[in-house]
């Protein structure tokens, strides 16, 4: 006789960094259905944006998520710049790439630590987050803050990175890469980790495409989609190479992020090498009038900002579609058929950011 049980997973659970609830239908220990429940930390930021002027909204956008804060402000600024026809100086574009890719490394290291913690490897957790401190040090030295940088503005960037700090950044990346060679083989080759991740939470290429997966979730299933390939900011000059796997399981999603960190370090080095001289920003005159859907690639996937302006200092519409929201449908595809003990690992494998999702 099969026992059917409905249990809540979350919103408070040791493995969840932020509150989300999954109502799991079980047959004995096997998951047969999963229903999501969100809304625990809704902050009403889109309504707040209607009360702020379009300059102030830059800082509001940056605070949607701490893990990818700079990329949020970049997406917003690029949208307003397109509406207003503003051409950003080349040096500012390169600096935007540097801070974006440093944020990507920071986000992926945070993910690796949480994943290691999910299957009980506390040593790998501490090693991942120790390396993350090096990345936070780069942000603090170059921007004056460890998470909320506040350097992106409409028309360019607010501050420069002097040559001595650029050289120090390169040295830190060399140190970081050396640290990677010591602990990343543990993620890729450890027998226990492979048993927990390979073949767990599989979503096929067709399913990922139909369900609208983005970012590493899509690329781990063989979907070649990364908005950096469009060449926004300075990516068109840096020879960006997309990381794609075909397994579609939790191991593939982990591997994509691991390899993306190496690509991000290469992009930062290349941006520093080619960093042009020139101004950091241009003067912004008048108010935006028009609408535009701005898109950039966050660590978790493509984020979309729909901005509608009416010629005044306040926006008519500030609508954000974050990558975690897009990846919730694929998550519900991954869970049926797995064991209850695999649920925490599968949830973490999409690297959920509920603060992004619930604005």
Q: Is residue 231 part of a domain?
A: yes
Q: Is residue 31 part of a domain?
A: no
If 0-12 CB within 10 Å is exposed, 13-18 middle and 19+ buried, where does residue 154 land? buried
Mean predicted confidence (pLDDT) in 1-14: 82
Quick one: pLDDT band at residue 343, thresholds 50, 70, 90?
very high
C-alpha span between 6 and 25 (Å, rounded): 5
**Tens-digit pLDDT profile for residues 257-303:** 999 999 999 999 999 999 999 999 999 999 999 999 999 999 999 99
Q: Is residue 35 part of a domain?
A: no
Q: What is the pTM assigned to this prediction?
A: 0.95
Q: Residue 260's pLDDT is what?
A: 97
Distances, alpha carbon 88 to alpha carbons 73, 127, 218, 234, in Å: 15, 38, 31, 11
C-alpha span between 92 and 43 (Å, rounded): 31
Residue 358 has pLDDT above 70, yes or no: yes
Give the position of tokens 């009416």: 310
Number of structural domains in the chain: 1
Q: Residue 120's pLDDT is what?
A: 85
Residue 37 has pLDDT above 90, yes or no: no
Q: Is residue 16 part of a domain?
A: no
What string of DSSP letters covers 201-251? S---HHHHHHTT--HHHHHTTT----GGGG-TTTGGGTT------S--SHH
If phi > 0 it is left, if psi is from -120 to 50 it is alpha, else beta; for residue 71 that is: alpha
Q: Is residue 92 part of a domain?
A: yes
Q: Is residue 202 part of a domain?
A: yes
Distances, alpha carbon 257 to alpha carbons 34, 85, 156, 218, in Å: 26, 35, 29, 12
C-alpha span between 23 and 325 (Å, rounded): 17
State the CATH number of the domain containing residue 288.
1.10.645.10
Give the position of tokens 């207003």: 84
Give the position of tokens 């096929």: 204
Q: Is residue 26 part of a domain?
A: no
Give the position of tokens 């290691």: 116
**Tens-digit pLDDT profile for residues 103-161:** 999 999 999 999 999 888 999 999 999 999 999 999 999 999 998 999 999 999 999 99
- Which residues form the domain of 318? 41-357
Q: Is residue 259 part of a domain?
A: yes
């Amino acid at each position: 006789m099969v026992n059917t049980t409905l249990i809540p997973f979350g919103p408070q659970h040791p493995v969840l960094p932020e509150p989300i609830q999954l109502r799991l239908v079980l047959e004995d220990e096997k998951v047969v259905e999963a229903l999501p429940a969100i809304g625990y930390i809704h902050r009403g930021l889109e309504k707040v944006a209607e009360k702020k002027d379009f300059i102030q909204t830059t800082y509001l956008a940056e605070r949607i998520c701490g893990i990818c804060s700079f990329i949020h402000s970049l997406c917003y600024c690029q949208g307003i710049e397109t509406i207003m026809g503003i051409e950003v100086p080349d040096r500012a574009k390169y600096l935007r790439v540097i801070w974006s890719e440093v944020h990507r490394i920071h986000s992926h290291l945070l993910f690796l630590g949480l994943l290691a913690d999910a299957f009980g490897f506390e040593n790998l957790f501490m090693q991942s987050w120790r390396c993350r401190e090096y990345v936070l040090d780069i942000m603090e030295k170059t921007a004056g803050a460890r998470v909320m940088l506040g350097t992106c503005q409409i028309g360019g960037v607010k501050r420069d990175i002097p040559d001595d700090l650029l050289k120090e950044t390169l040295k830190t990346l060399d140190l970081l890469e050396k640290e990677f060679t010591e602990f990343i083989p543990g993620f890729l080759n450890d027998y226990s980790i492979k048993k927990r991740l390979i073949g767990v939470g599989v979503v096929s290429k067709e399913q990922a495409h139909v369900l609208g997966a983005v970012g590493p979730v899509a690329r781990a299933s063989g979907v070649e989609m990364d908005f950096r390939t469009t060449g926004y900011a300075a990516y068109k000059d840096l020879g960006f190479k997309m990381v794609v796997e075909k397994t579609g399981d939790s191991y593939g999603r982990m591997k994509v992020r691991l390899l993306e960190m190496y690509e991000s370090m290469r992009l930062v080095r290349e941006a520093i090498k080619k960093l042009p001289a020139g101004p950091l920003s241009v003067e912004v005159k008048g108010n935006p009038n028009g609408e535009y859907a701005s898109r950039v690639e966050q660590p978790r996937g493509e984020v979309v900002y729909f901005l509608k302006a009416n010629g005044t200092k306040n926006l008519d519409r500030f609508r954000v579609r974050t990558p975690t929201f897009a990846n919730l449908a694929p998550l519900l595809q991954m869970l049926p058929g797995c064991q209850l003990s695999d649920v925490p690992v599968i949830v973490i494998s999409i690297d959920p950011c509920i603060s992004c999702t619930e604005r």
